[in-house]
A and B are shown apart, each in its own frame.
Chain A
Amino acid sequence: MNRTLILLAAASAFAAEQPALPAEEKPVDFAREILPVLSDKCFVCHGPDTRKKDLVRLDSFEGATRDLDGYKAINPEALAESEIIVRINDADDAMPPENAKKQLTADERKLIERWIKQGGKYAKHWAFVPPVKPTPPSSGHPVDAFVKQQFPEGTGFASAPDRSTLARRLALVLTGLPPEPELLDFYLNDDSANAYERLVEQLLADPRYGEHQARYWLDAVRYGDTHGLHLDNKRGIYPYRDWVVRALNNNMPLDRFIEWQLAGDLHPNPTTEQLIATGYVRMNPTTAEGGVIPAEFQAKNNFDRTETLGTVFLGMTMICSRCHTHKYDPITQTEYYQLMAFFNSTAEGPLDGNKYEYAPVIKVPRDQVSWNDWQRLQAERDQLLAEAALTFQNPQEFQSEAKQKWDKADKGARLAMVVDENGPWKKASLTIHETAKRLAKRIGDAKKVFTTTLVAKELGKPRETKLLQRGEYNLPTGNPLQPSVLNVMGSLPKGAARNRLGLAKWLTSRDQPVVARVLVNRIWQRVYGKGLVRTPEDFGLQGQHPTHPELLDWLAVELQESNWDLKHMLRLMVSSVTFRQSSALRPALNDPENKLFARGPRYRLDAEVLRDIALWASELLDPHMGGEGVKPYQPAGMWKALSHPASNTKNYKADTGRMVYRRSLYVYWKRTSPHPMMTLFDAPNRESSCVKRSRTNTPLQSLGLLNETQRVEMARMLAERLLKEQATDDQRLNLMFTLLACREPNAAERDACKRLLDSMRERYASAEKDANDLLNTGEVPRDKSLNATDHAAWTQLSATALASDLALMLF
């Protein structure tokens, strides 16, 4: 075997077992092996954007076999004489040309030659072919069957971690917090065969599940509490964030979840929730800078929405096609503007006026508690109206006029009728009139504290959309364009309107090839740390091929067939053996990126989770759900240093009381300057879509972990808890480790911790002021009945443990 063959053999080692063929005869997989090479190295001149007539296009079989004055790039009649083969091997007249930035490797040349000699057949890029559900290669859990299939011979799944480690992993993946000690205990003592499944169900039912899962979505849709540009003023949009949490906790089918966000307002008689959901359409950063040209921002806002749609749902970069037909992916410039046309007729002005209430807006309850209250009030009202209507069965008491009015009225107006001091219910002195008065007052009171949320609304008469030359707002050209979807991904479903609702129907239709794959890949990514497609933002020709294409397709169809049931998909993934493997490295597999998934997930937790774990362990976590973004401590001057003097987010004023301890999901998100403890740990700024956070490792993170005020406060409150709940150092260590790692310390850890405790006790015993200074960090008063030396020493240890990988990592 020559070197090439060895390389090829290695490259296909993960592929399904095949009878050994001589390399020349082994069928080349066009979509996986050839298309990425053509795309990366040839399409820049010979791709979809090729305009010169004499240049061959290599993005289709028809293009490649076109007769060009006697020769053909691919010559089906004489494959070996195909011009491609000649030119890629011709040193004097080479292709790619000598000065091209990207050259073919020797292996790629051989591969292309082999492919052409085998017929040079084209196939669609895999992601553009709607997924078909493959049969799992073996019995048992389908995920495991597909994963195991690609293991090298003789390799099995890694052993299972101990149950407590698994419980921690599971709870972190589903809820973003470790399991409560009682839940952990219950699980560890549950001998039943379905103990694990029961734990899964308990975690899925925990309202913190929705908060955690929502975060990923908010990154993708670039949720922020400010407009983002110029003044970066406050924006009234957090009810959208809370709606996402609620929808996920209620396990709203993802197709509906998508449809409401894109087009909730286009449903007949949209509900309040459907309208709140359309905040998605309004999420783009906006400006009201003095002197900006509205038409320019009408275009820019739409570019942003179109390109975000590409990233969030299509796993495609759209940006190229803004200015010219895509060099790599089959998207024309016209199609870009047709897609953009869906968003071009929304009613909001292109400039935000620096207003919190950037119209159109609606008024809605301000947090989860008021939302629940509001739901109850509405239920009461509905019941009352039903009772009030009963009186119509006794018509002589009423004039028919009232009945007619009633029939035409909406619920609010009907209630007003029952309340009316001159109305029939009053006249009849029915008790229901008095009840209604009280109810109406309560409803009125509830509405007084309603807050604003931005919503989408369609203009009566659509705006005209034209192709913009080079993406310049002032260079519209050609005929007006109808809203339309990308040809390569099918067409609008039958009967779907050419508006955002139709767009949503297309995204969630069964033959839309990418959306389900893109979504399921991101679900996989949050469970296993890395996606099946490692470029979750790009499923196009330049993206990475899935590590497990069949598994991805199986999951995508399963998502569709399960009625887009997110909890079902998570349940499925976490119940696999694949998920329940030890996450220790398996050096023998030489798979540092875990592309085989032959070990469990292991990654540094996200910024929000790091803070939440410490709040939770120290029992500071405030469970209040929803509401305006909260402002924990932040070093002075950070906003002022960069804000416009007229900005209403110029001064950061930290909240006081319980708000400081809310879950990090609720931390106020100023897009031009998010909280530094978030950005230090790779949270995006939410000015643009993020579907994969980086996970960096920097010295500044160490400084934040050990010195930031809230970190210290959480450490001393954890210490306080340990000192109060347990009597001996050993017991306290056990509790601390159980909280952070779901296990007790081993001998070496116990030893290291005790040494620190001893030295810190010694130090603080003779430095009372230092101990007190440390214990006065943060707002929460300390329990002064505790010995300060002990408390300070334990604070130092807690801070250390909270900064260690025990508390930083998913394992």
Chain B
Amino acid sequence: MNPIRETDLMITRRQLFGRAALGLGTAALANALGPDLLANTDSQTPGTHFTPKAKRVIYLFMSGGPSHHDLWDYKPKMREMFGKNLPEHVRDGQRITGMTAGQKTLPVCPSKYPFTKHENNDRGLWVSELLPYTAKVAKELAVVYSTFTEAINHDPAITYIQTGSQIPGRPSLGAWLSYGLGRMNENLPGYVVMHARSKFPEQSLFGRLWGTGFMPSEHQGVLLRSEGDPVLYLKNPAGVSTKDRRAQLDTLAALNQQQYQEFADPEILARIKQHELAYRMQTSVPELMNLSGESDATFELYGEEARQAGSFAACCLNARRLAERGVRNIQIFHRGWDAHGSLPREHESQCKDIDQGCYALIKDLKQRGMLDETLVVWGGEFGRTSYCQGKLTEENYGRDHHPRCFTTWMAGGGIKPGITYGRTDDYAYNITDADGNMIRPTKGKWTPGTMHIHDLNATILHLLGIDHKRLTYRYQGLDFRLTDVHGHVIQDLIA
């Protein structure tokens, strides 16, 4: 084989390593199982397992566990039980965290917030007064009342929902998507993560939530920051102009070319290319972050807060701008939902942070014709208890962690608009069937009307054209999946 040919082959192989602007599986192809993954595909779109419904995903992650009681899951009957002990048959042996395990009673704690029913395309959607804006897009949302998990503490639960395992070490959902989806715009990172400001930044986030575990680190999420450089080290040092950098890169390329002459290593050429990409990013990222071209109508829609870098609204606006520029994998983390003691005070502030942004993002995507190809996901790592943690009064209460049911919504990108899915009992404590009988679903076997967090992830992947059972990465001889050996695509949610 001639040397040029070999070099070409190797470059091709390396380009496959997650950089090519093709679809799903380009990165996966470089893994030993890649060909397997692509072998039997029903897709019309090159590289995907089947025709994707969504081209991209924007995941609004509410870290800490929003209270489904106070936002979505309307349970008027709880009012009658105010302060009374949660009936034993409702708790049904559920293990509770060490924080409330010692409480003498588990007093039923109805939400203090009025709910209003909003028209959707189904049985209507009850939304509390904490989310007046989001309520206005009821007709776009598929609201799932029956999301569930096994983890009852933050670190394991958030690691679980974002990586498929409660113990650290696995690639994140975002990394799986990066690995599967590749990227469309070479001048921007393929997987972008934002941290939105909260007044109650309780509970931590972890690098692993957008990290790669055992996968190559190029799939990790790139933080788009609101402080300092939007992308780490984006800006030239003081005293170095763009022109200076150009001259440096030309010299760098010349030096590296000499290395190439000597070693013929295609990696050298690949690196020259990365330096050039970095140079282009120094233009494309500031352009992305520059909102001066946005109209007044935009700021009316998102709210004036969208002008403040780091606000949730600003992150949503950035998400739309990223989506427009071909970024397929966007996550916004908003902390502060862990309301053990002063739920009303904290949740009111939290909802104010996010409400208009969520609404605006959906409206904006819709008006730009992008909603049907953009999957928007909203949710946290678990829900909150029906009983009060600490002292219960009409004005104030707290809620502990609750894994058995919590509310998540999705919109756009192949989701059935304006529906609700799953039911819970009168205490929003257990999932029930349509007749109100308690269901005790497990991750091992899907029960209709329920959505385990693995099912959620399987459904997200599915909408993006990926079969969660076939997107695998071999490590230590095992073909790892985001959904472990579980996960069920919830067809009822799909348009």
Contacts and interface: CB of A to CB of B under 8 A. Distances in A.
Interface of A: 101-102, 228-232, 285, 287, 289-293, 300, 303-304, 311, 316-317, 319-320, 328-329, 474, 535, 537-538, 540-543, 583-585, 587-588, 590, 592, 602, 604, 635-637, 641-645, 647, 672-674, 676, 679-680, 682, 685, 687-688, 690, 694, 696-704, 706-709, 712, 746, 748-749, 752-753, 755-756, 759-760, 763, 767, 769-777, 792, 796-797, 799-801, 803-806, 808-809, 811
B256 A592 contact: no
Nearest to A39: B477
Interface residues of B, number: 98
Contact of A811 (B9, B101, B263): B263
A796 B206 contact: no
Contacts of B20: none
B292 interface: no
A772 B152 CA distance: 55
B263 A583 contact: yes
A680 B231 CA distance: 12
8 contacts: A535-B477, A540-B476, A541-B477, A585-B6, A680-B232, A697-B267, A709-B237, A772-B239
B90 interface: no
A692 B25 CA distance: 23
Interface stretch (B42-50, B269-277, B427-435): B269-277
A291 B152 contact: yes
Nearest to B444: A470
Interface in B253-285: 254-256, 258-259, 262-265, 267-268, 270-271, 274-275, 277-279, 281-282
B400 A703 contact: no
Contacts of A806: 255, 259
A585 B202 contact: no
Interface string B369-412: 00000000000000000000000000000001100000000000
B248 A756 contact: yes
A588 B268 CA distance: 20
B204 to A, nearest CB: 4
A704 B278 CA distance: 10
A585 B252 contact: no
Contact of A685 (B101, B211, B259, B282): B211
A763 to B, nearest CB: 7
Contact of B36 (A102, A232, A647, A796): A102
B247 A760 contact: yes
A643 B234 contact: no
B51 to A, nearest CB: 21
Given A687-B169, A697-B267, A697-B270, A587 B1 contact: yes
Nearest to A650: B204
Contacts of B254: 748-749, 752
B234 A703 contact: yes
A694 B216 contact: yes
Contacts of A290: 97-99
Interface string B62-92: 0000000000000000000000000000000
A682 B216 CA distance: 8
Given A682-B217, A709-B237, 7 more contacts: A291-B99, A538-B476, A685-B208, A688-B168, A749-B258, A773-B238, A799-B248
Rank and list the top 7 A-B pairs by shortest CB-CB distance, nearest first. A542-B477, A291-B97, A774-B239, A688-B169, A587-B3, A773-B239, A702-B278
A291 B247 contact: no
B207 to A, nearest CB: 5
A752 to B, nearest CB: 4
Contacts of B228: 635-637
A805 B259 contact: yes
B238 A291 contact: no
A219 to B, nearest CB: 13
Contacts of A752: 251, 254-255
Contact of B237 (A680, A774, A804, A808): A774
Contacts of A773: 237-239
B411 to A, nearest CB: 27
Nearest to A680: B232
Nearest to A102: B36
B155 A635 contact: no
A644 B338 CA distance: 11
Contacts of A694: 215-218
Nearest to B268: A805
Contact of B274 (A635, A682, A699, A771): A699
Given A707-B236, A749-B258, A679 B207 contact: yes
Contact of A704 (B100, B204, B232, B255): B232
Most buried by B among A687, A712, A749: A687
Contacts of A637: 225, 227-228
A723 B216 CA distance: 40
By secondary structure, the A interface counts as loop
B264 A587 contact: yes
B208 A706 contact: no
B153 A706 contact: no
A641 B224 CA distance: 12
B396 to A, nearest CB: 19
Nearest to B36: A102
Interface string B194-229: 010000011111111001011111101011010111
B91 to A, nearest CB: 16
A673 B225 CA distance: 15
Most buried by A among B2, B6, B99: B6
B252 A800 contact: yes
B252 A803 contact: yes
Contact of B258 (A643, A708, A746, A774): A746
Contact of A672 (B207, B248, B270): B207
B166 interface: yes
Nearest to A642: B205
Given A538-B477, A592-B6, A777-B238, A672 B208 contact: yes
A636 B227 CA distance: 8
Contacts of B244: 760, 763, 796
B216 A707 contact: no
B255 A289 contact: no
Contact of B229 (A635, A644, A645, A799): A635
A585 B263 CA distance: 6
Contact of A699 (B203, B259, B278): B278
B308 interface: no
B275 A688 contact: no
B242 to A, nearest CB: 12
A583 B7 CA distance: 15
B345 interface: no
B239 A800 contact: no
Nearest to B14: A697
Contacts of B241: 770
Nearest to B264: A585
Contacts of B220: 679
Most buried by A among B2, B9, B101, B255: B255
A700 B100 CA distance: 45
Contacts of B218: 694, 696-698
B153 A291 contact: yes
B252 to A, nearest CB: 5
A642 B6 CA distance: 45
B297 interface: no
A672 B3 CA distance: 44
A543 B32 CA distance: 12
A290 B222 CA distance: 30
A656 B494 CA distance: 56
A736 to B, nearest CB: 11
A395 B475 CA distance: 71
Nearest to B234: A703
Contact of B251 (A685, A703, A800): A800
